[in-house]
Amino acid sequence: MSIQQDIIQKLGVQPHIEVKEEIRKRVDFLKSYVLSAGVDGLLIAISGGIDSAVATGLCKLATDELSEEKGREFKTVGVFQPYGEQVDIADSYAVAEAFALKYRVETNIEEAVNEIALEAEYGLKSIGVHRHLSRAGKGNVKARTRMVVQYALAFELNLLVVGTDHASEAITGFFTKYGDGAVDLTPLSTLNKRQVRMLAEELGVPRSVLDKAPTAGLWEGQTDEAELGITYEDNSDYLEGKQIAPEAQQKLERQYAKTEHKRSPIPGI
């Protein structure tokens, strides 16, 4: 088995999908888990990007169906988490409007992130390292702080936290360990970025979101493709078993090997 075939098998990506079937399968997955966990619904952070938009659409379908079937309310709570001023936050709200979210919460993480960064810098100083957190390091703090806030809300509301991880991120390890600080459910995990876009089109994700360059919002102007030096077109082709340029293939496979620890369970002895 080639490295490519091994990666595809481990990540569970299919070369072709039937969009309506995939939506149905993922909505049913969410419904089943909500019921088995005995919770009152789902929480999803809406960044304004395509991945969280698709996850929001799936969550809303799941909780609407559960509410109708069970005769009581199941919630999808959408959370907006700017760091200071988020220039594209209108896209986050457009997603909430597109899926008619009743429950919306905005939590600005700027003060919390800056305090954590300051404490970390004091810690560095205490061992003789005199510097500010790196740009990437502070980006990591932003991602994890967002998750702390999501779990604080989810605990109080008896909800499960839904993640947006998918195979095109998993192959590159482009997330902090277990996603951005871990989540309860990942309904997009076996899709590549192209397939996520296909679901987005079917679900009715706003055009302003569909047309955006993918970004984790870690710092101003950051984009996934620039950060990794790999296009999502090549990434998706690779995960569908297609041949791509040798340089792009080598980059993907090196990135996959380098980030294996992020996809593996926490080791113990």
CA angle, 153 then 157 then 160, to 5°: 80
Rounded to whole angstroms, the Cα distance separating 146 from 141 reads 8
Give the rounded distance of the alpha carbon of 247 from its chain centre.
27
Across-strand partners of 80? 106
Match 């929480």 to its residue by tokens: 43
Catalytic residue among 165, 169, 234, 237: 169
Catalytic residue among 22, 51, 234, 237: 51
The kind and range of the H/E element at 36 are: helix 19-37
180 counts as catalytic: no
227 is catalytic: no
Torsion of Cα atoms, 238 then 210 then 260 then 2, to 10°: -10
The residues that are catalytic are 51, 169
